[in-house]
Amino acid sequence: MKVVIEEAKKTFEMFGKKTYLLLDECHRWNKAQSDSLLAVLESGQVVLIGSTTESPTHSMTRAIVSRCTLFEFKQVGADDIKQALKRALENPKGLKDYSVKIDDDALTYFATACGGDVRSALNGLEIGVLTTPVNANGEIVITKDVAVECLQKKALSLNDDVFYHILSAFCKSLRGSDATAALYYANRLIEAGCEPQLLARRTIAHASEDCCSAKALNTACNALFALNNLGMPEGNLALTQAIIEVCEAPKTNRVVVAMNMAIDDARNHADDNIPDYLKNHTEASKKYKYPHDYGGYVEQQYLPDSLKNRNYFPKDKK
């Protein structure tokens, strides 16, 4: 990188041209490596184009992220994946030399069961073409059954509408405390090619939204950790455990109600003054009552005057 930076400086000084630096897997850089780019980024001598599968706000240093514009790339849609598969069949650099006849059902399966990963769909298609015997007409016929065999995933009828309907049923089953239904919908989605991590993330959200349970939240977070580190099928055990825990936990929406009330007040009362004795190192702060001097709790006002009677999180009635 030091060599690249020096060459970029010379190119800019001699010809007034910027250097475009494409850095793949940029989240792997440590702070020292990232900081080496700051000067040339600020001067405009280097234009950084970084790509990463991680969240840059968490995996990259703040100094680099603040000097960049972030673009989030979504998963590729099924229709676009179909076009990529068709191009692969028609392109001389692809599979054009093979006489391939592919069913629309097979194309649809490749496009929907690959989880938005074009590379996976192309690999599955290539395996199908290379391993399917030529028929009497000299054609390689790729059917849905062949596509299923190549991707090693069970074929289910699951278009976008059905996918979101099943996902909605999964979420409502979690909220409704029906573990059997939630597990059925979860595994129906997994068998159709849905990434189990998506279901783990939804389970985490419902642990807070519908349960207000530290145990359920901890179990759900650990399920996502297990999936990321164990993979399938072992990770499904942890996911199943989390789904059961969230379903069996007592239900309350106190967390989401409290959050929404706090957000609303934060937006509409942002200029309200906090009590003087809560401020940092002022004369008035000497009046602050240190709770531990009073046995761990002492009555005093923490909210601004305009909100002093607010209670986002009242105690549950027994």
Mean pLDDT lowest among 239-248, 284-293, 307-316: 307-316
* pLDDT at position 8 over 50: yes
| 249-261: average pLDDT | 91
Distances (CA, A) of 197 to 119, 176, 201: 19, 21, 6
pLDDT digits (tens, 9 = 90+) for 284-308: 778 889 899 999 999 999 888 888 8
> Mind listing the pLDDT tens digit for each residue in 88-131?
999 999 999 999 999 899 999 898 888 778 998 999 999 999 99
What share of the chain has pLDDT > 70, as a percent? Answer: 96
Cα within 13 Å of Cα(19), Cβ side: 21
Segment of 44-58, 129-143, 158-172, 260-274 carrying the highest mean pLDDT: 129-143
116 backbone φψ class: left, alpha, beta (φ>0; ψ -120 to 50)? left
Identify the structural domains of the chain with CATH numbers, from first to last: 2-66 (3.40.50.300), 78-151 (1.10.8.60), 160-248 (1.20.272.10), 254-307 (no CATH)
Task: Report, as an integer, the average pLDDT of 78-90.
Answer: 94
Do the beta carbons of residue 115 and residue 194 sit within 8 Å? yes
Lowest mean pLDDT of 102-106, 157-161, 256-260, 285-289, name the range: 157-161
> Higher model confidence: residue 238 or residue 148?
238
Does this model's pTM top 0.95? My answer is no
Cα separation, 254 vs 284, in Å, equals 34
